[in-house]
Amino acid sequence: MVFKKYYVVLKGRKTGIFTSWTECEEQIKGYSGAVHKSFKTLGEAEAALGLTDQAPLFPIEQKGVKWQEAKEKIVPANELIMDSVCVDASCIGNPGNVEYRGMYTATRKVIFHKRSMLNGTNNLGEFLAIVHALAYLKNQGTGIPIYSDSETAILWIKDKRVRTKLERSEDNQEIFNLTYILHLEI
């Protein structure tokens, strides 16, 4: 008898629930500080990811953090500042096609979405998402919080320095140009 498992990735290339080890492994293999765990039921996986009533937010985890340590750092939903912007990016491959978006947390309305760009990295996408949110909020005249799950991108913002190892090429010119232009906004 084969038992189906559900794999939750809290920190990886993509986060969420995956229904096969292959899908899960794609998100965590070679990803520094990946956090994941398998569950026997979809309900357990959804609860772990915070998709049930108490919908927690997983804060930034340090490299090498274990599942239990990540669970202990959960911020309850009632402590989440709803008047905020949440940003995220995705990248298919590394390097690969990268896109990002930002949404208003209270309504989950997408306030910006950058279409897929060639030959980028998830870190660059996460950085651009935060910078885009900062520029957007500056333009709106507000200073509400921005939520990001990218420890690297947050560090780049704090340092005001992009530390990508990706080399500039004709394919990724758009990403590097956007990085430069948006970086001037902060």
How far apart, in whole angstroms, are the C-alpha atoms of residue 97 and residue 120? 6
- Identify whether the C-beta of residue 42 lies closer than 8 Å to the C-beta of residue 17: yes
Name the token pair of 26: 């794609």
Q: What is the pLDDT of residue 100?
A: 92
* Radius of gyration in angstroms for the set of CA atoms belonging to the chain, rounded to a whole number: 17
The predicted model gives 112-121 an average pLDDT of: 89
| pLDDT on residue 125 | 92
Q: Which of 102, 50, 104, 103 is nearest to 77 (CA)?
A: 50
**Residue 16 is encoded by which pair of tokens?**
């969420």
**In which order are the strands placed within the sheet that holds 109-120?**
109-120, 96-104, 85-93, 146-147
159-185 tens-digit pLDDT: 888 888 888 888 888 888 877 665 555
For the chain, give the mean pLDDT: 78
**pLDDT of amino acid 60:** 34
Is pLDDT of 35 > 80?
A: yes
Q: Give the lowest-confidence range in 12-21, 38-47, 147-156.
A: 38-47
Whether the pLDDT of residue 7 is over 70: the answer is: yes
Binning the chain into helix, strand and coil, the percentages to the nearest 5 are 35, 25, 40
